[in-house]
Amino acid sequence: MENVKISSFQLFTLIYIFILGTTVIFPVGADAKQAAWISIFFGLLSGLPLLLMYYYLNKQYTNLLLTEYCIKILGKYIGTMIGILYILFFLYGAARDVRDVMELTPLFLYGTPSWAIAFMLILPILYGLYLGIEVIGRTSEIFFPYIVLTVILVVVFVIFSDLVKIENLRPITEPGWETVLRTTRKEAWMAPFGEMICFTMIFAYLKKPKLILKVGVAGVVSSGLVLVLIHILIFSVLGSEARNTSIAPLLRMVQKINIGDIIQRLDAFFMIWLIVNVYFKVTVFMYAAVIGGATIFKVSKSYLVIPSGLIVFITSIFIAGSYTAHYAQSDFVLKNVYPIFAVYIPLLLCVVTFVRNKIKKRKPRSAENF
Amino acid sequence: MKSRKPIPLLKLRKRKHSQPGQSKKDQNLNINQNEDTDQEQAVPIHLHRELKKNIEYIKQMVGNSSDIVIREFDLGQTGEIKIAIFYTDGLADKSFVNDFILESLMVNIRTANLGSDVLSKKNIYEIIKSHSLPAGEINELVDFNKVFYHILSGDTVVLMDGFLKGLSIGSRGWADRGVQEPSSQTVVRGPKDGFSETLRTNTALIRRRIKDPNLRIETKQIGKKTQTDVSIIYLKDVADEKLVQEVKARLKKINIDAILESGYIEELIQDETYSPFPTVYNTERPDSVAGGILEGRIAIVVDGTPFVLLVPALFVHFFQSSEDYYQRADIATLIRFLRYFAFFLALITPSAYIAVTTFHQEMIPTPLLISLSSQREGVPFPALVEALMMEVTFEILREAGVRMPRAIGSSISIVGALVIGQAAVEAGIISASMVIIVSLTAISSFVSPTFNMGISVRILRFIFMFLAATFGLFGIILGLIMMVLHLNSLRSFGIPYLAPNAPFILKDQKDNFLRLPHWSLHSRPALINQQETVKENTASPKPPQPDEANQ
C-alpha cells in the first residue's frame, strides 16, 4: 500500500467518473427496450447495498486493502488465492473496458488499427499508475469539471435542438416489470455498480475514513442519476429501436445536435469526453490490480505496472474475435462472473467477519461468568 | 484580531539594528551579521603579527592585479605605528575611503592631540576601532579568507603592525545601473521600479515595501570562486518555519564554484529537473516579491542579477500578475480567465487544426470545409509538415528578435510579416489558414505574464502536434491527460503544483481563477501558509446610509 492519502472530493470524482465510464456509451439493457433506463435505476438502487457491504468490510479493517483483509479473514492460503483471483478479475475488467474503446475506433479514427488505439490509451494509464493514486486522484479532480460541464452542455444542446420526443419513452413499461428486473440483474447491476468492488482497494487511502460511506453514496447516486438521465435522453431522441441497435447510441444522439447550423457534429468532441471517462475507469481497475499485486507479492508497485499493462493490452486484443463476440462475452461475464467477485466473495467475507466479531465479543463475557 | 505576545526588550534592541532608514551605506550593517560560519572553506590562515609579512602574503595572493590598492603609512606623532589599508578600486567608494578612513587615520588622529601614553602601540587597535573610524559597519578579521572576502567585495581592510587581527570597514559603492523600470514584466498600473544588479539595492526595495521587524533578510555566500551573496527573505510568523528550514537546507547543499545568475540557484534547488514546467518563480518586480513574501513565500535574492526567485511557485502563480491586484477585481478576473484561455490556445491550436483537417473533417461545417480545402488544394504538404514549417520558422524569428541589436529589429518584422507570411502563401507553400493559426498561437503564447511558462508551452506544442498528426483528437486528449498527470506529480518545495485546484481548496478559490475584491481576501493561501493565516478584516465598503437631514 502506498503511503499517501486522497481527499474525499478526489474519491468522489473518481467514483463519479468511474460509474459513468463506458456504461454511458453502450446500449446497456437493450432487452428492456425503452425501459432500460428503469433497469439502470434499479441497478443503482441495488448497487447501494453492495457499497454498504464494502464499507462494512473497510470499517472493520481500516487502512487495509481488500487483498490484505482477505488474508486476515480467510487465512494465508485461501486469502492469497482469492486475492490473486481478484487481481485477475481487475485486469480482466480493465481489458474489457479497453476493448470497449477499441470497438468504437472506426467511429472516430477511421482506418487506424484498433490495437494502436489500445496501446496509446494504455500508455498514459501506465504513467498514472507509476505516479500513484494521489496523482490519479488529483488528476480526476482536474478533469471533473470538464466531465460535468460537458454533460450539462449536451443536455442543453439536445433540448435546444428540439430533438426530445417524449412519446419515444411510452409506454414506459411495455416489456413488463419482470424483463426490467431481469435486465437489471443481468447487466445494469454489475456493469457500473458492481464494479465498485475496485474501490475496496482505494477506500483505505481516504484522509477521513469516516466519510467513505457518505462520499461513496454521494458518488454512486449522483453519477447513477446522471446515467439514468442520459439514457432517458437517448431514448427520447433516438427511440428504443435505433438506440438498442446502435453500437454507441450516445454518439448517435450527439451527432443529431444542430443549433442554428453552427453547433453541430459534436461527436468527435464527445469521443474525447468518453476517452477521459474510460481513462479513469481503466486506471482504477488497473490500479486495483497493481496495488493488489504489490500487497500480495510484497514488491514495489512500480515493478508491476508494465507487466500488468502488457497483460491488459494483449488481453484486450485477444479477448474476443468481433464486436458481437465481445458483446456476447460481456453478457455472459456480467451475468455469471461479476457477481462472484462483486457480491458473493465480499458477502462471504462480511459474514465471516461478522460471526468472528460476535464470537470475540461473547468470549470475554463468558470469561466473566466463570 | 489575535493579540501578539509581548516582545522581550532584549529582542527589540537586537532588531533595531536591522531597521531601515539610515544612510545607504549603513544598511550594509546587517549583511555580515548572519554570515554562515560553517560554510565550506579552505583551512583559514591566520594573520601574522608583522604587518610586512601580511602585506607580502596579500601581494602574493592577488598577484599583480592592478585594481587592488594597498596604502601603507605611519601613524602617531612619531610615526612609530605602521598601518596599511587595502581596498579594491572600483568596488569601494573612493570618496568614502579618502574622507572617512584615510583622513581620520592620517590627519584627525594627529590633530586630536592625544598624549603619547594614550596613543601607544599597544592600544592603537582599540582606539582606531572604537574612536577614530566614522563608519557604520566595522568587522574584526582574524584570518585571510575573511580579509580577501572583504577586500574583494568592496570593503576597506585596515591592518596594523603588531596585532593578530585587522578591521574591515564597509565601504562598498560601485557603479550601479540604478533602479529602472523592469524590462521583462511591464504593467500599465503599478509601481515602475525594478530590481537591479546590486543585492543591497534589491533588499532595500523589498524592505521599503514591508516595514515589519519580522521581515528577515539572511545572507550567505555561495560559490567557491565567486563568493556570491545570496539572501533569503521571508516574514517570520507568516512563512512556514519548515519551509524556511527546507530552503536553507537546499541552499546549504549547493557546492559549486560560480553563481552568476539566480538561474543557477533555481536549477540547483528545484524539486524536479526533468520537467518543462518551472517550479521556481522569478521576477524583476519588487511588488511581486513583496506580495509573495506577504503570502508566506520565500524570496531568494542573488547578487548580480535583477531576477529574484520566489518559492514555492505553483502553476497558478505563473498566471497571476501583480497588476491583477491593482486593477478592479472584475477586470482582473476576466483577464485571468483570458490568460488561461490563451495558454490553452497556445498549447493546442496548431495540433487541433492538424487533427481536424486530417482526421475529423466531418466536424467542420461544410462551407468552411470547402473554403479550407480549396486553400489547401495547391499546398503540397500534409498539415503536420505545413504546421511544423511555420512553427519552426516562427520560433526562429522570435529567437532572432530577442538577440538582435535593436537597430536591426525592424528588418526582422519586415522579413517575418512579408516574406514568411504573405509570400509563402502566395507561393503556395502553405495555406493562408495555417498562417492564421500560427499567428494566433504566437500571440497567445505572449499573453502569459511570466516568460518561463511561455517557454514550456512552446516545447509541449510540438509534442501535441505530433500526437494530433498520428491520432487526431484522441492523441491530443491523451497528451492532455499525460500533461495533467505530470503537473500533478510535480511539487514545489513540498506543495502540490496544481494547488489549489488539485487538491481542491475551496478557501483559496477567492484568489485563483477569480480575484475577488480585496475586502473579501481574508486569509492567506492555505497550503503555503500555516501560521497567522488571517490577512485582513476589512468589512466590505458600503455606501453611507441616506441621511434623513439631507432628504
Q: Is B453 found in the same domain as B333?
A: yes
Which region among B12-16, B54-58, B452-456 has the lowest average model confidence (pLDDT)? B12-16
User: Which residue in the set B471, B476, B485 is minimally distant from A139, CB to CB?
Assistant: B485
Asked if residue B311 lies in contact with residue B252, where contact means CB atoms within 8 angstroms, the answer is no
Question: What are the CA-CA distances from residue B473 to residues A282, B6, B466 (Å)?
Answer: 19, 63, 11
Cα four-point dihedral sign B246, B251, B255, B256: positive
Provide the mean pLDDT of chain A. Answer: 88
Beta strands in B44-193 (DSSP E): 68-75, 81-88, 138-141, 156-160, 166-169
Q: Is B445 found in the same domain as B337?
A: yes
Whether A268 sits inside 8 A of B478 (CB atoms) is: no
Q: Is B37 found in the same domain as B135?
A: yes
Q: Is B336 found in the same domain as B296?
A: no
More confident residue, A266 or B120: A266
Instruction: Please give the Cα distance from A364 to B258 (Å, whole number).
Output: 72
B212 to chain A, closest Cα gap in Å: 37
Question: What are the CA-CA distances from residue A322 to residues A282, A318, B68, B147 (Å)?
Answer: 21, 10, 86, 83
Chain A residues near residue B369 by CB distance under 8 angstroms:
none
Q: Is B262 found in the same domain as B229?
A: yes
pLDDT of B137-192, one tens digit each? 888 888 888 899 899 988 999 998 888 888 999 988 888 888 899 888 888 889 99
A352 to chain B, closest Cα gap in Å: 38
Tally A–B CB contacts below 8 A: 90
pLDDT higher than 60, residue B6: no
- What integer pLDDT is reported at residue B42 of this predicted model? 57
Instruction: Please give the Cα distance from A135 to A132 (Å, whole number).
Output: 6
Asked if residue B120 lies in contact with residue B87, where contact means CB atoms within 8 angstroms, the answer is no
Instruction: Please give the Cα distance from A104 to A121 (Å, whole number).
Output: 13
Instruction: Give domain status of residue B184, yes or no.
Output: no
B516-524 own/partner pairs: CB under 8 Å, 24+ apart: B516/B329, B516/B333, B517/B329, B518/B325, B518/B329, B524/B238, B524/B294, B524/B295, B524/B296
Q: Is B336 found in the same domain as B464?
A: yes
- What integer pLDDT is reported at residue B26 of this predicted model? 41
Q: Is B296 found in the same domain as B359?
A: no
Q: Stretch A213-236: mean pLDDT, rounded?
A: 92
Instruction: Give domain status of residue B321, yes or no.
Output: no
pLDDT higher than 50, residue B18: no
Burial (CB < 10 A; 0-12, 13-18, 19+), residue B336, is buried
- What integer pLDDT is reported at residue B77 of this predicted model? 65
pLDDT band, very low/low/confident/very high, at B333 (cuts 50, 70, 90): very high
More confident residue, B410 or B305: B305
- What integer pLDDT is reported at residue B33 of this predicted model? 41
Which region among A358-367, B16-25, B206-215, B402-411 has the lowest average model confidence (pLDDT)? B16-25
- What integer pLDDT is reported at residue B175 of this predicted model? 83
User: Which residue in the set B471, B489, B503 is minimally distant from A131, CB to CB?
Assistant: B489
Number of structural domains in chain B: 3
Instruction: Please give the Cα distance from B315 to A236 (Å, whole number).
Output: 44
- What integer pLDDT is reported at residue A106 of this predicted model? 80
Chain B residues within 8 Å of chain A (Cβ atoms): 359-360, 362-363, 365, 471-478, 481-482, 484-486, 488-489, 496, 498, 501-504
Instruction: Please give the Cα distance from B488 to B505 (Å, whole number).
Output: 15
Provide the mean pLDDT of chain B. Answer: 84
pLDDT higher than 60, residue B16: no
Whether A109 sits inside 8 A of B489 (CB atoms) is: no
Q: Closest-CA residue in chain A for B501?
A: A142
Whether B478 sits inside 8 A of A272 (CB atoms) is: no
Q: Is B86 found in the same domain as B161?
A: yes
Q: Is B292 found in the same domain as B341?
A: no
* In chain A, % of residues over pLDDT 90: 46
Given B273, B289, B313, which residue is the final one in a domain? B313
Chain B residues near residue A127 by CB distance under 8 angstroms:
482, 485-486
Whether A138 sits inside 8 A of B478 (CB atoms) is: no
Instruction: Give domain status of residue B520, yes or no.
Output: no
pLDDT band, very low/low/confident/very high, at A277 (cuts 50, 70, 90): very high
- What integer pLDDT is reported at residue B39 of this predicted model? 45
Instruction: Please give the Cα distance from A126 to B457 (Å, whole number).
Output: 24
pLDDT band, very low/low/confident/very high, at B375 (cuts 50, 70, 90): confident
Q: Is B281 found in the same domain as B349?
A: no
B513 to chain A, closest Cα gap in Å: 13
Q: Is B362 found in the same domain as B273?
A: no
Instruction: Give domain status of residue B12, yes or no.
Output: no
Chain A residues near residue B478 by CB distance under 8 angstroms:
120-121, 123-124, 275, 279
B4-27 b/e (C-beta count within 10 Å ≥ 16 → b): eeeeeeeeeeeeeebeeeeeebeb
Instruction: Please give the Cα distance from B416 to B396 (Å, whole number).
Output: 10
User: Which residue in the set A121, A142, A279 is minimally distant from B498, CB to CB?
Assistant: A142
- What integer pLDDT is reported at residue B11 of this predicted model? 43
| Domain spans, chain A | 8-369
Asked if residue B387 lies in contact with residue B424, where contact means CB atoms within 8 angstroms, the answer is no
More confident residue, B8 or A164: A164
Whether B474 sits inside 8 A of A143 (CB atoms) is: no
Instruction: Please give the Cα distance from B30 to B41 (Å, whole number).
Output: 22
* In chain B, % of residues over pLDDT 70: 88
Half-sphere exposure of residue A299: CA atoms within 13 angstroms, side-chain side: 8
Chain B residues near residue A205 by CB distance under 8 angstroms:
none
User: Which residue in the set B474, B489, B501 is minimally distant from A135, CB to CB?
Assistant: B489
- What integer pLDDT is reported at residue A8 of this predicted model? 92
Half-sphere exposure of residue B494: CA atoms within 13 angstroms, side-chain side: 12
Given B456, B472, B496, which residue is the final one in a domain? B496
- What integer pLDDT is reported at residue B113 of this predicted model? 62
Given B169, B185, B210, which residue is the final one in a domain? B169
Whether B473 sits inside 8 A of A143 (CB atoms) is: no
pLDDT higher than 60, residue B30: no
- What integer pLDDT is reported at residue B10 of this predicted model? 42
Which region among A189-203, A295-309, B39-53 has the lowest average model confidence (pLDDT)? B39-53
pLDDT of A228-269, one tens digit each? 999 889 888 888 888 888 888 888 888 888 888 777 778 778
Domain limits for position B411: 329-496
B172-194 b/e (C-beta count within 10 Å ≥ 16 → b): bbeeeeebeebeebebeebbebb
More confident residue, B19 or B327: B327
pLDDT of B72-115, one tens digit each? 888 766 677 888 999 999 899 889 898 888 888 888 777 766 66
More confident residue, A367 or A91: A91
- What integer pLDDT is reported at residue B332 of this predicted model? 93
**Domain topology for A8-369:** Amino acid/polyamine transporter I (1.20.1740)
Count how many residues are written for chain B. Answer: 551
> Among the ranges A347-356, B112-121, B356-365, which has the highest mean pLDDT value?
A347-356
pLDDT of B438-497, one tens digit each? 889 988 988 888 888 888 898 899 999 999 999 989 999 999 999 999 999 999 998 999
User: Which residue in the set B474, B489, B503 is minimally distant from A117, CB to CB?
Assistant: B474
Q: Is B236 found in the same domain as B106?
A: no
Q: Stretch B335-346: mean pLDDT, rounded?
A: 93
